[in-house]
Structure 1
Amino acid sequence: MEHATATDLQAWESYQRMRQRLSARIARELATTGLSEADYEILGALVREDRPVRPTALGCELDWEKSRLSHQLRRMEQRGLLTRESCADDGRGFEITITTAGRDAHATAKETYDAAVCRYVTQALSSEQLQQLRDISEALLPHLEEPHHA
């Protein structure tokens, strides 16, 4: 079994500091729109689907645990951002649908989110660095895939 070198660990620690600070900055900016990162992530998935989605499928797409998703969906439903309705196919489960208020909130938040990504990432890196970031991300993603179990 290979062990990380001191240089490897320094690279990892730098990445972790950057990731945490970037996430915190974006979260603060999203909060000005009235959405949390979790709200934005769920609304984004619903906008992309553009149809009612079963919670299990949404949880798999977002890589969230069932209880976390359930609590977040309940809070968002109470705020009028989405609806949970009985599934027309079998009547046992539920389907999640984004509301007009949810679409509007996502559109507003997307402008803020995109501007933050531009300011903190794309404007700070060269074209070559952005390509390296993409290459690194694409190389790591397959190693992070695992079967989803409901």
Structure 2
Amino acid sequence: MAETVRWLTPEEQHAWRSFTRLHERLGGRLSRLLQAESNLSGPDFAVLVHLTDVPDGRQRYQELTRALDWEKSRMSHHIARMAGRGLVVREDCPEDGRGAFVVITDAGRAAIEAAAPRHVEAVRELFLDHVTPSELRVLAQLSERVVNKLDDDQR
């Protein structure tokens, strides 16, 4: 028996398209600003943010891959490029011969510390200055709910 497709209502379609347009345009603009002003790509910045948020600036490849929701090959290639630029290093895991860590370097810390103030200002100028505190709380609640559902589906 064929399932009935639950087509989007005009209101749902408008909201979905508005959201995807916001995500694409805001992400693109922030990435271009990062690249132009700090020589970091959006993915570089995402990796460095995750590494600065964990103890000792080190995280297992698998955990970082899951946190960023990337494919293993993408993570491997990207980390190799970042290591080539001295932003991170790869360290073998002594407890697990197959596992490895991604570790932020002093150069990686310096790069994100230099990029972060302008990035935060751009987030404010392009996004936060255009929403109210109550809209921001609703956005956070919606985002957390959807992300939690996505995380539950992967378990």
TM-score normalised by the chain length of structure 2: 0.88
- Residue from 143, 147, 150 that aligns with 2:154: 147
Identity percentage over the alignment? 35
In structure 1, C-alpha distance between the alignment counterparts of 2:132 and 2:96, rounded to whole Å: 51
SS for the counterpart of 2:90 is strand
Change (3 A) 1:132 1:93: closer
- Residue from 8, 13, 16 that aligns with 2:17: 13
- Residue from 80, 86, 89 that aligns with 1:83: 89
Q: What displacement does 1:18 show?
A: 1.3
Higher share of residues assigned strand = 2
Q: What displacement does 1:118 show?
A: 0.8
The answer for unaligned runs of 5 or more in structure 1 is: none
Q: What displacement does 1:142 show?
A: 2.2
Describe how 1:1-150 pairs up with structure 2 within 5 A. 1=4, 2-31=6-35, 32-51=37-56, 52-145=58-151, 146-147=153-154
Change (3 A) 1:139 1:86: closer
Change (3 A) 1:104 1:64: same
In structure 2, C-alpha distance between the alignment counterparts of 1:97 and 1:120, rounded to whole Å: 31
> Where has structure 1 moved over 3 Å in runs of 4 or more?
none
Asked which structure has the greater RCO (Cα within 8 Å, sep 6+), the reply is 1
Q: CA RMSD in A?
A: 1.5
SS for the counterpart of 1:123 is helix
TM-score normalised by the chain length of structure 1: 0.91
Aligned AA (2:85):
R
In structure 2, C-alpha distance between the alignment counterparts of 1:90 and 1:42, rounded to whole Å: 23
In structure 1, C-alpha distance between the alignment counterparts of 2:96 and 2:143, rounded to whole Å: 39
